[in-house]
Structure 1
Amino acid sequence: MTEVLLIVGILTAIFVGYNIGGSTTGPAFGPAVGANVITKLMAAGLMSIFFFVGAWTIGPNVVDTLGNELVHTTDIFTMRSNVAVLFFIGGALFVGNYAGVPASTSMTAVGAIAALGLATGELNWSVLGEIVVWWIVAPIIGFWVAGVVGRYFYPRINEWVAIEANRDGRQMITVDRSGAVPRLQFQENATRREITGAFVVVAIGCLMGFSSGTSNIANAIAPIYGTGALEMGTLILIGGAAVAIGCFTIARRTLDTLGNDITNLPLTAAIVVAVISSTIVIVLSSIGVPASFVVIATMSIIGLGWGRATRTTTLSDARRGEETRVSVGALTAEEEGEQAPRIGEEEPEDIPKASDLFDPSTTARVILMQNVVPIISTVGAYLTFRFVPLFGF
C-alpha cells in the first residue's frame, strides 16, 4: 500500500511541476516572446534548462524549509497527506493556468502545507511568520529599488539599451537546423545593436528561469521530501522534468497573456523589473525563504513607474510642496533609445496615464486569479485535513 501511495504521490508531484512550468514561463519569457525575439518553443527550452540549474543549486534550501521546518514534525507528511497537499497545489495552479494567469506558486504551496500543519496542530508559526514577513518586505524593497532606478537611472538605461519590439511577426533569433550542427540565425538586416538587445532580453529571461527554479522546485517536491522516501537529487530530477513538460505545453497560454495581452510595458522596463525581482528571489531562496516573484515584480513595475513620474519635480520643488502626478504610464513617456529630458524639465501633462500602459480588463483578471489561486489551495487543504476522516490525524 505504501508503494502505491508513493507512486501516486510522485504522479501528483509531476502534476504540480507541470503546472509550475505553465505558470512561471510566462513571466520569464513573455517579454521576449511578445517582442518576437524568440519563439515559444525556444522559450520553453531555455526555461526548462535554467529552471533545473536553479533548482539543483539553490533550490534545496527552500525544499528543506517547506519539507522540514514549516511544520514541527514531519510525521504528518504521510503518503496520504502528501497526495492531498500536492493535489491542492497542482489543482489550484491548474485553475490559474487554464485562465492564462501566472499565479504565485510559492503562496499556493505554502498555503497548502501550512493548512496541513494548522489542521494537525503542528504548524511552526515562527517559520510561517518569517515567510510572511518577507512576503511583505520583499515587494516593498522591490518598489523602492525600482523607484530609485526609475527616477535617476531608467531614462539613461532606456537610451542606452534601445530595445524595440519587433512587430513584423518574424522572430529576431531562430535556430537553423539545416546543417549537421544547429546554429543561431538572426533576422536579415538586423543591426549589431538590435542583436545585442535581443540577447539582453533572452539573458534576463534565463535569469528569471534560474530564480524560479531556486524557489519553485520546493512547491512540487517538498511534501514527499519531508517523508524521507526519496533523496533530494532524485526528486529534483523528477520535478525538473515535470516543469519542462509544462513549459512546452500549457505555458503557451501564460506566454500569450504576459507577452501580448496584459500590458504594453516597454522592453527596457521589463528588463529592469526582471533583474530587480529575480535578484530578490535568488537572495531569499539562498536563505530558504520561498518568495513570490509575481508580487515582487508587480510592485517593482509600480515603483519604476512612480520613480519615472517623479522626474517632473526636482527635490527643491518637492520641498516647496509641489505635488507630482504619479503614473505607471510614465514608463511610456519616451521611446526606446530616445534621449530623456533632465529632472524637472518635463510637465506632468507629458506623462501618460496608467491606462495607456495596462489593459484594464486583463489586469483585473490577473489580479483576481492571483488571489483566488492561493485561497483555493489553502482553504481546500485545511477543510480536507480538518474534517475529512480519510485524512484525519
Structure 2
Amino acid sequence: MEDLLIAGVFLAAFVGINIGGSSTGVAFGPAIGANAITQVGAGVLMSISAIIGGWTIGRNVVTTVGNDIVATPVFSLSAGFIVLACIGLTLLVANVLGIPTSTSMVAVGAMVGMGIGNAGVEWGVLVRIARWWVVAPLLAFGIAAAIGRWKYDEIAAFGGISEPTTSPVTLRWTAGRPELEIAEDASSSDIWSTVLLLVIACYMGFSAGASNVANAVAPLVGSGMVSLDAAILVAVGAISFGAFTIARRTMATVGSDLTALPMTAAVVVATIGATITTGLSYLGIPASLALSTVTAIIGLGWGRAQRGKSRVAPSPPATREETVRCEKTPSYAVHPSAVTLFQGSMVARVLAVWMIAPLAAGGAALAVTISLL
C-alpha cells in the first residue's frame, strides 16, 4: 500500500506538470503573443499566482472532484491511481500537440469512467457540472463578441490602452531578477497597457490554480490517503515546474495561432476567462479556464470581424489627390479582417481535442477499471 501511495504522489505530480503546461499557455499566452513578457517571466508569475489560487479557492474544487462526483466507498487508492494515470497520459498527448486542453474536463471524464466501472457515479452532481460547462463558454463567447462588436474602441480609449499588436514594453527575467525592456518610442500609455496586461495574466494564473489543483490531487484526497494541505502543495509545485518546461507550445498556440491579439484584446479575453472560472471555482465547480478563455478569444475575433464588415459602404469615386492620400493601408487595429482575427482551422483543431480528450480519459479509466474487477 505504501508503494502504491508513493507511486500515486509521483503520478499526481506528473499530472500537475502537464496541467502547468496547459494552464500557463492559457493564462500567459495573450501576454506572450503581445510580446509583453518572456516565457521565463511567465513561468515565474504563473507559479506565484497558481500557489495563491490553489491554496485559497482551490480547496472548494478539490472537495467537489474528490468527494462528490464518485461515491466515497468506491474511491480506493488503486482507483485514484487509475484516474491519475488516465488524466496524465491524456494531458501529455494534448501538450505534445500544443493544444490548451481543458484539464477539468479531462479529470472529470476520468473520474466518471472509473465511477461507471464501479457503479458509483453521482449523476446529479455530474449534471450540475456539465450544465456549467455548456453555459460558461457560451457566456464567454457572447460577452466577448458583444465587446468586440460594439464596445472595443471605448474600452481602449477609456483605459488608455495602447493598441500595437507587439508591445514596446517587455518584462524579462535576467539572472533571477525582473527587468523592464522599454523601447525608446514607448509612451506612458504603452507602459500602463503592459502592466495591466500582466496583472490580468496573473489573475488568470490565480484562476488556473484555483480550478486546476483539484485535477492533479483530488483522486488522492478522495481516497483518504493524503491530507488536503499536503496535496495542494504537491499540485502547485508540479504546476510551477510545468510552467517553466512544457508550457512553451501552448503559450505559442494561444498567443499566436488562434487569433491576432493586440493589447486591448488580450486584456478583454483574459478578464472574461479568469472571472468566469474564478466564480465557478468559488462555487466548487471544476471549470475550464482554457475553454472560457479561448471561446472569448474566438468571440472577440468574430465580433471585431463583424465590425469591420459593417463599415464597408458604397462611396463616390475618389479623386487622384484622395487616392494618393489614402494609399497607406489602414492598421489592423482600425480595420480588422475576419481572416486575421479568426483562424478557423486552429479553432476546429482546438475544439476537436476538447471533445475527444475527456472521452478518451473516461474511456481509458473505464476500460482499466473493468479489467481489474
Q: TM-score range by the shorter chain?
A: 0.7 to 0.9
Q: Distance in 1 between matches of 2:183 and 2:292?
A: 37
C-alpha RMSD of the superposition: 2.3
Q: 1:268-304, CA deviations, whole angstroms, 9 ceiling, x for partnerless residues?
A: 1221111011101111100100112222223323433
Cα distance, 1:359 vs structure 2: 3.7
Cα contact 1:77–1:224 (8 A) shared by 2: no
Are residue 212 (structure 1) and residue 196 (structure 2) matched? no
Cα distance, 1:95 vs structure 2: 0.3
Q: 1:229 aligns with which of 208, 225, 230?
A: 225
1:138 counterpart residue number: 136
Q: Distance in 2 between matches of 1:144 and 1:26?
A: 23
Cα distance, 1:106 vs structure 2: 0.4
Cα contact 1:58–1:214 (8 A) shared by 2: yes
Are residue 127 (structure 1) and residue 125 (structure 2) matched? yes
Cα distance, 1:137 vs structure 2: 1.3
Are residue 28 (structure 1) and residue 13 (structure 2) matched? no
Q: Distance in 2 between matches of 1:379 and 1:299?
A: 26
Cα distance, 1:45 vs structure 2: 0.8
Q: 1:271 aligns with which of 267, 272, 281?
A: 267
Q: Distance in 1 between matches of 2:43 and 2:125?
A: 34
Cα distance, 1:311 vs structure 2: 8.6
2:91 counterpart residue number: 93
Q: 1:290 aligns with which of 281, 286, 302?
A: 286
Q: Distance in 1 between matches of 2:146 and 2:347?
A: 25
Q: 1:251-275, CA deviations, whole angstroms, 9 ceiling, x for partnerless residues?
A: 1121222223332233312211110
Q: 1:110-138, CA deviations, whole angstroms, 9 ceiling, x for partnerless residues?
A: 00001111111110000000000111111
Q: Distance in 2 between matches of 1:112 and 1:99?
A: 20
Are residue 362 (structure 1) and residue 362 (structure 2) matched? no
Letter in 2 for 1:146: A
Q: Distance in 2 between matches of 1:175 and 1:226?
A: 39
Are residue 184 (structure 1) and residue 179 (structure 2) matched? yes
Correspondences of 1:40-189 after superposition (within 5 Å): 40-72=39-71, 74-159=72-157, 160-166=160-166, 172-175=170-173, 177=175, 182=177, 184-189=179-184
SS in 1 for 2:172: strand
Correspondences of 1:244-393 after superposition (within 5 Å): 244-308=240-304, 309=306, 335-336=332-333, 352-353=337-338, 355-386=339-370, 388-389=371-372, 392=373
SS in 2 for 1:290: coil
Q: Distance in 2 between matches of 1:249 and 1:176?
A: 17
Task: Give the share of equivalent positions with the same residue, in percent.
Answer: 41
TM-score (norm. length: structure 1): 0.83
Q: Distance in 2 between matches of 1:22 and 1:175?
A: 19
Cα distance, 1:186 vs structure 2: 3.0
Cα distance, 1:40 vs structure 2: 0.4
Q: Distance in 1 between matches of 2:298 and 2:347?
A: 13
Inter-CA distance 303–240: structure 2 relative to 1 (3 Å threshold): same
Cα contact 2:207–2:277 (8 A) shared by 1: yes
Cα contact 2:83–2:219 (8 A) shared by 1: yes
Q: Distance in 2 between matches of 1:35 and 1:143?
A: 21
Q: 1:279-336, CA deviations, whole angstroms, 9 ceiling, x for partnerless residues?
A: 011111001001122222233234334544269779xxxxxxxxxxxxxxxxxx9644
Q: Distance in 1 between matches of 2:196 and 2:54?
A: 23
Cα contact 1:96–1:370 (8 A) shared by 2: no
Gaps of 5+ in 1: 315-332, 339-349
Cα distance, 1:224 vs structure 2: 0.4
Q: Distance in 2 between matches of 1:222 and 1:263?
A: 34
Q: Distance in 2 between matches of 1:75 and 1:357?
A: 50
Cα contact 1:115–1:379 (8 A) shared by 2: yes
Q: 1:28-72, CA deviations, whole angstroms, 9 ceiling, x for partnerless residues?
A: 111212222211001011111101110001000000001111122
Cα contact 2:62–2:213 (8 A) shared by 1: yes
Q: Distance in 2 between matches of 1:96 and 1:224?
A: 23
Cα contact 2:26–2:251 (8 A) shared by 1: yes
Deviates more, 1:104-113 or 1:261-270: 261-270
